[in-house]
Copies of this chain bind each other. A is one copy, B any other.
Amino acid sequence: MHTPDIGSFIKDLRENAKISLRQLAEQAGVSNAYISQIERGLRKPSAEVLASIAGALRVSTPAMYLRAGLLGKEDTHGVIAAIAADPELTLAQKQSLTQIYETFRRENARDTDRDDAGAAESAVEEDYQ
Contacts and interface: CB of A to CB of B under 8 A. Distances in A.
A85 B75 contact: yes
A84 B60 contact: yes
Contacts of A89: 79, 101, 104-105, 108
A59 B95 contact: yes
Nearest to A86: B79
A80 B82 CA distance: 8
A120 to B, nearest CB: 10
A87 interface: yes
Contacts of A97: 79, 97, 100-101, 104
Interface string A50-86: 0100000011111101100011110111111111111
Contacts of A62: 62, 71, 75-76, 80-81, 84-85
Taking each of A96, A100, A101, which has the highest tally of chain B beta carbons within 10 Å of its own beta carbon?
A: A101
Interface of A: 13, 46-48, 51, 58-63, 65-66, 70-73, 75-91, 93-98, 100-101, 104-105, 108, 116
